[in-house]
Amino acid sequence: MFAGTLIASATMTIMSRDPVRSALFLVLSFFAAAALWILLTAEFLGLVLILVYVGAVMTLFLFVIMTSHRVDLTIKPSFSRYWPYALAIVLLFMLLALSVLSSYRTPSQLIRANVDNTAALGSILYTHYVYPFEIMGLLLLVGIIAAISLNPRVIRDRKQQDPSQQICVKPSDRIRLIKMKPSIRS
Amino acid sequence: MIALNDYLIVSAVLFSLGLLGLMIHRRSIIHLLMSIELLLLAVNTNFIAFSYYFHSIAGQVFVFFILGVAAVEAAIGLAILLVLFRAKHDVDVDSLTSLKG
């Protein structure tokens, strides 16, 4: 049932021309995928998918869509003109994948794991995979810096020095000598 | 009993849908980003299914890293998209020809 929801909402995501509707169907497909992952005993990653993607990334998508596309994108036809070729290529790919995947059946021996998924993931993540974990933290930091520095409003208000103005300055710009009569203040 | 192949088939269909979206929405960047999210979702579902049926948690660790990288990629892509929209008032891929010599 979740797989059916996932496939249907993914189809609607790529088929709808309205970007807002497409993004909302993408949210639905993320929810269905998270349910599938939780059924596969990956509870922590399912919850992370809901929190990070539905909570943060899709909010960002909707924000960008609603600030940038006001009316223009929904009117013009956004389908590419050679979509039959694309459909043929993708159908070929799908047939190949399905024929390969249904040709053999893996023996599925299911042993229900008793250990907590989150605890197991955390214990292996902080011991064996600690360097990739720190590299990912660094990557997130780079992402934050890039997203902030791409904001054009920051660049406009920045106070910075102009070296050409600094070396072209003349003494008359800085100090003005005036002549005045000496006077004695009583 | 749900076998591993069923999850792999679902994920292959999802990957094909993402690929189709990538091809037919070649003009608008926001649709391209959403199709890339679908592709990553299919790959992650594959990893989690393998990790469940082969009793190895390394697949879930890998999915964790893929989620982080995909979040960074979406954030930077959308920031670039906003800057592009403010500069050109258009997000059509075909109109981005200012680097053409």
Q: Give CA–CA dist B6/B12, Å, rounded.
A: 10
CA angle B38, B79, A142 (to 5 degrees): 90
Tally of domains within chain B: 1
Our CA-based measurement puts residue A53 at a distance from the nearest CA of chain B, in whole angstroms, of 8
The interface predicted TM-score of the complex, written ipTM, equals 0.84
pTM, two decimals, is 0.75
C-alpha B58/C-alpha A124 separation (Å) is 8
What fold is seen in the domain A1-74? Answer: Four Helix Bundle (Hemerythrin (Met), subunit A) (1.20.120)
Where residue B1 falls among pLDDT bands split at 50, 70, 90? low
Domain of residue B14: give its range. Answer: 4-93
Q: Which of A52, A96, A76, A69 is nearest to B82 (CA)?
A: A69
Chain A contact for B96 (CB, 8 A cutoff):
no
pLDDT in tens, B29-77: 788 888 898 899 999 998 988 888 887 788 888 888 998 898 898 888 8
- pLDDT, residue A75, reads 46
Is B98 within a domain? no
Tell me whether residues B31 and A89 touch, CB distance under 8 A. Answer: no
SS (H, E, C) A45-63: HHHHHHHHHHHHHHHHHHH
- pLDDT tens for each residue of A84-133: 777 888 888 888 877 777 776 665 555 555 567 777 788 888 888 888 88
| B53 lies in some domain | yes
Nearest to A12 by CA among B71, B31, B77: B31
Identify each DSSP E strand in chain A by its residue range: none
User: Which of B27, B34, B45 is the closest to A80 by Cβ?
Assistant: B27
Chain A, residues 41-70, CB within 8 A of chain B, namely: 41-42, 44-45, 48-49, 52-53, 56-57, 60-61, 64-65, 67-69
Which CATH number do you get for residue B53? 1.10.287.3510
Residue A141 has pLDDT above 90, yes or no: yes
Contact A14 B24 (CB under 8 A): yes
Q: What is the CA radius of gyration of chain A?
A: 30
Question: Which B positions 30-59 lie with beta carbon below 8 A of chain A?
Answer: 30-31, 33-35, 37-38, 41, 44-45, 48-49, 51-53, 55, 57-58
Q: Does residue B101 lie in a domain region?
A: no
Domain ranges within chain A, ordered by starting residue: 1-74, 116-155
- The pLDDT tens digits for A32-80 are 888 888 888 778 888 888 888 888 888 888 888 777 765 555 445 555 5
Write out chain B residues lying below 8 Å of A118, CB-based: none
B40, part of any domain: yes
